[in-house]
A and B are shown apart, each in its own frame.
Chain A
Amino acid sequence: MTLYESEIKRIRSIVYSNQGQIDTVIATRNYIDNNYDTDLNLNLLSHIRFVSKFHLLRLFTKYYGQTPKQYLTDKRIEKSKEYLKKGKNITETCFAVGFECPSSFSTLFKNRTGLTPTEFQKEQLSQSRSNADFETLGIKPKI
């Protein structure tokens, strides 16, 4: 057994010994992954797993290093990029990923990515166009 394998075992026995807690946070994360487009909140998530919301908040943060709210926001931003790349407009994208207000969505998107949704979409479109132009010329683009 390598040093790394023995370290894996040692850390697992210290940090990940409570399987019940692990099952709870994994199920919560999976629920967020499958329902990020709905009106999710800590109350709802805690009811699903029959735990108090404060306990769930502590557990989720302990095992994933971020709060459920932070995780949900990251998930929604990641998904919104996919929708924008596919050509959905900002309002459609905003509602499709579970945000309620297009202007708040745009502000949050810019904070997280450095670009507004419109700028991001333009950048993606120009990249795919330039790749298509290269292909038309018979040149394989590097990207």
Chain B
Amino acid sequence: MLILKLWVLNLKFEQMKVKVIGIPVQDQEKALEFYTGKLGFVKKVDVPLGGDSRWLTVVSKEEQDGPEVLLEPSPNHFEPAKTYQKALFETGIPYTQFNVENVQQEYERMVSIGVEFSVKPTEMGTVKIAVFNDTCGNNIQIVEML
């Protein structure tokens, strides 16, 4: 009987999955332009939420069934989010990071299209990193595994 119960529980039990990570942005349309135009992401979901707000996500072009990046307008609607974002930005701390094959090449490509970096490609043990301004209030880090 116990075995049967465990079997039923096992059937019903589903693990949580990472599907969406959020990045606060001050202007969703501008963020969409930057994340698709400069970073090469692809728009996946765009749902109007009333007013100017949208549920707006982008995905990596190479992993379109992978995790979505939610460009959320939280700094415009929740003062503490704005304060937190500003504090991180001013201290140069990245809000999040994305993996790339080659940090140096990506750095050169992005600089050539006008993206500003606060940390140039830097080796840090077993990784190489660089940090850029996403023009929407965040520092974002790119990482290459060495």
Given A142-B43, A142-B44, A142-B45: A4 and B139 interface contact (C-beta under 8 Å)? yes
B91 at interface, CB cutoff 8 A: yes
A16 at interface, CB cutoff 8 A: yes
A122 at interface, CB cutoff 8 A: no
**Which residue from chain A places its CB closest to the CB of B139 in the assembled complex?**
A4
Given A3-B93, A29-B145, A142-B43: A8 and B125 interface contact (C-beta under 8 Å)? no
> In angstroms, how far is the closest chain B Cβ from the Cβ of A16?
3
A22 at interface, CB cutoff 8 A: yes
**Stretch of B22-30, B33-41, B73-81, B116-124 with 4 or more beta carbons under 8 angstroms from chain A:** B116-124
Is there contact, CB below 8 Å, between A4 and B125? no
Q: Which residues of B contact A4 (CB under 8 A)?
A: 91-94, 118-119, 131, 139
Is there contact, CB below 8 Å, between A114 and B93? no
Using an 8 Å CB-CB cutoff, how does the interface string of B83-120 with A read, 1 for contact, 0 for none?
00000000111100000000000000000000000110
Q: Which residues of A contact B6 (CB under 8 A)?
A: none
**Which residue from chain B places its CB closest to the CB of A142 in the assembled complex?**
B44
Given A4-B91, A114-B15, A142-B44: A15 and B125 interface contact (C-beta under 8 Å)? yes
A43 at interface, CB cutoff 8 A: no
Is there contact, CB below 8 Å, between A5 and B124? no
A139 at interface, CB cutoff 8 A: no
A12 at interface, CB cutoff 8 A: yes
A63 at interface, CB cutoff 8 A: yes
Is there contact, CB below 8 Å, between A5 and B92? yes
Q: Which residues of B contact A3 (CB under 8 A)?
A: 91-93
Q: Which residues of A contact B92 (CB under 8 A)?
A: 2-5
Is there contact, CB below 8 Å, between A127 and B65? yes
> Looking at B45, B94, B124, which has the most chain A CB atoms within 10 Å of its CB?
B124
Q: How far is the CA of A15 from the CA of B123 in the complex (A)?
A: 13
Q: Chain B: residues with CB nearer than 8 A to chain A?
A: 15, 42-45, 59, 64-65, 91-94, 118-119, 122, 124-126, 129, 131, 139, 145-146
Given A2-B92, A25-B126, A114-B15: 8 more A-B contacts, CB < 8 Å: A2-B91, A3-B93, A4-B92, A4-B118, A4-B131, A12-B124, A12-B125, A29-B145
